[in-house]
């Protein structure tokens, strides 16, 4: 699963640590998500969506390959 967390953070001028604190996870978790090494729970994805005022599908998406 890919995501646009890094882009959304830049738009809101948030560091990984700041976003992590807001949503209640470690900075390492945010980093792992940005590197597509960690897929968040539904609750965490919803929290991140709320921070950026976006739907989960606008931040997290599957890369379809044939």
Residue 27 lies in a domain: yes
Residue 33 lies in a domain: yes
Residue 61 lies in a domain: no
Backbone angles phi, psi at 53, to 5 degrees: 55, 45
| Contact partners, residue 4, CB within 8 Å, separation at least 6 | 58, 59
Residue 32 lies in a domain: yes
Instruction: Give the tokens for residue 19.
Output: 């976003």
Residue 42 lies in a domain: yes
Residue 46 lies in a domain: yes
Q: Which domain holds residue 44?
A: 2-52
User: CB atoms < 10 A from the CB of 60, how many?
Assistant: 19
- CATH code assigned at 44: 1.10.260.40
Instruction: Tell me the mean pLDDT in the region 30-50.
Output: 97
What's residue 6's pLDDT?
97
What's residue 43's pLDDT?
98
Total count of domains within the chain: 1
């Amino acid at each position: 699963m890919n995501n646009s967390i890094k882009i959304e953070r830049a738009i809101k001028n948030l560091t990984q640590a700041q976003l992590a604190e807001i949503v209640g996870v470690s900075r390492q978790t945010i980093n792992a998500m940005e590197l597509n090494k960690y897929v968040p729970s539904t609750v965490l994805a919803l929290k991140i969506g709320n921070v950026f005022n976006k739907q989960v599908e606008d931040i997290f998406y599957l890369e379809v390959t044939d």
